[in-house]
Amino acid sequence: MNKSATMLNRLLFYTNLTLLFITCSVMSIIQWLNYMITSKIDRKWQLRINFLMQELIFSQFTVCLEWFCQTRIRLFVNKRKTFDSYGQKPALVISNHRYPNDFMFFLIFIKMFGPLGAAKSFVKYELRHVPIFGWSFLFSEHIFLKRDWQQDKKNISNSLKNLNNSIVPISVFFMPEGTRFTQRKHEIGIDYAKENQLPIFKHHLIPRAKGFNYILRYIHSNDDFNIYNMELIQAQDSADINWKNFFLCQKLSADFYLEQITANQLPEPDADDSKYTELLYEIFNKKVNPLDHTIVDQIVEQHRTHSFIPNCEVIINHQRSILTLLRCIAMNIVIGGSIVYYLFYYITFILHNPIIRWIFLLISIIVIYALYMAFKSAKVSNYGEKKAKKMN
């Protein structure tokens, strides 16, 4: 893009983002009412309404990526059978967690197979306070983790039981690393791995076994679930995948690698935790094809060398949807635009009173500060401090 086209794209993006925030806030209120009222009247209707609301909210962010950040997504699947079976049954997707806003890319991944209302994930507790995303996670009954095992164990158990109530096969994203990859965390993890004789990964943190063992034991006892291993890798022609470049409308592109973990690879449901821990490290060490023994880090290295992942039977280039774009534009104009118009009309009328003007300014400062603290708390991670304490 030339400079004028880039400025126009950003202007349209920020306008859309403003209306998006208002529109999605209204939908979050609907989700809240649905969660508080409809769930006590008819659970099936509550799930249907929430499914629709989550679809409408999350599609707004896929449109931002696809149309304003010019995102290109490729999907590499090692087996045709794996590609054909995805979405036929509920799925547990074991993924890496390398980028601050990688969940938006996971949404595009789900969109390649079906509706966004089918997305579920394990997320940290602090995210429930973040507007739009966090609120949608909360009212859509995603699984929140406090990193306190006694509390998390009970919450995971109750949440996993509710997964079977979904009206369509869901995709549950689980990131065993437990926190986002950073160089500092990686260095601390390497020291910890050396002291405890654990495998060391070049592009991943050490996966956490306790929660994985509990989750996979439950999933394995439920034959309705398929289990997949997925890797998200930033494309070579992409800007760094982070929030700053998203808000600057930089080109953000990525590739997915997907493979299925077959039933004969899983320990028996009554096997002890050591067997499930071995499987976890095997997932991070090797891909599921026993003839390949492809190291996870080698997948990343091959991608960096060749700009693609070799030996895959299926390669899909994601196509953005013009219908989704038009739907989101219409929603933002009708809902967000109408609210902005009436707010502007009444605020300009009310602000003639100096007292109300100061009250409005104070409320604005409080709201901005609350949003800042919500986003700040969502970024907090004591991964390094915990590891350091264990090593001392």
State residue 379's pLDDT score.
Answer: 58
CA dihedral 115, 121, 126, 130 (to 10 degrees): -10
Q: What is the 3-state secondary structure (H, E, C) of the chain?
A: CCHHHHHHHHHHHHHHHHHHHHHHHHHHHHHHHHHHHHHHHCHHHHHHHHHHHHHHHHHHHHHHHHHHCCCCEEEEECCHHHHHHECCECEEEEECCCCCCHHHHHHHHHHCCCCHHHEEEEEEHHHHHCCCHHHHHHHCCCEEECCCHHHHHHHHHHHHHHHHHCCCCCEEEECCCCCCCCHHHHHHHHHHHHHHCCCCCCCCCCCCHHHHHHHHHHHHHCCCCEEEEEEEEECCCCCCCCHHHHHCCCCCCEEEEEEEECHHHCCCCCCCHHHHHHHHHHHHHCCCCCCCCCCHHHHHHHHHHHCCCCCCCEEEECCCCHHHHHHHHHHHHHHHHHHHHHHHHHHHHHCCCHHHHHHHHHHHHHHHHHHHHHHHHHHCCCHHHHHHHHHC
Cβ neighbours, 10 Å, residue 9: 16
State residue 270's pLDDT score.
Answer: 79
State residue 391's pLDDT score.
Answer: 39
Q: The sheet that has 171-174: what strands, in order across it?
A: 143-145, 119-124, 171-174, 91-95, 226-234, 254-261, 73-77, 314-317
State residue 304's pLDDT score.
Answer: 58
State residue 390's pLDDT score.
Answer: 46
User: In a structure prediction context, what are the per-residue pLDDT tens digits for the chain, which is 392 residues long?
Assistant: 678 888 889 999 999 999 999 999 999 999 999 989 998 899 889 999 999 999 999 999 999 999 999 999 999 998 999 999 998 888 999 998 989 899 999 999 999 998 999 999 999 888 888 888 888 999 888 999 887 888 888 888 888 877 767 788 899 999 998 888 888 888 888 888 888 888 887 788 888 888 888 888 888 777 678 999 999 999 888 999 999 999 999 999 999 999 998 888 888 877 888 888 888 888 777 533 333 434 455 566 556 555 667 778 899 999 999 999 999 999 999 999 898 888 877 777 766 767 776 776 777 677 676 666 665 655 555 555 544 444 33
With a CB cutoff of 8 Å and minimum separation 6, the contacts of 244 are none
Nearest to 107 by CA among 283, 219, 252, 209: 252
CATH no. for 3-326+379-391: 3.40.1130
pTM for the structure as a whole? 0.84
> For residue 217, what are its two tokens?
């034991």
Nearest to 90 by CA among 160, 170, 159: 170
Phi, psi of 211 (to 5 degrees): -65, -40
State residue 289's pLDDT score.
Answer: 34
Q: Where are the domains of the chain?
A: 3-326+379-391
State residue 29's pLDDT score.
Answer: 92
Q: For the purposes of burial, counting CB atoms within 10 Å of the CB of 117, is it exposed (0-12), middle (13-18) or buried (19 or more)?
A: buried
By residue count, the chain amounts to: 392
Nearest to 286 by CA among 295, 275, 297: 295
State residue 239's pLDDT score.
Answer: 93
State residue 241's pLDDT score.
Answer: 94
Nearest to 331 by CA among 2, 56, 114: 56
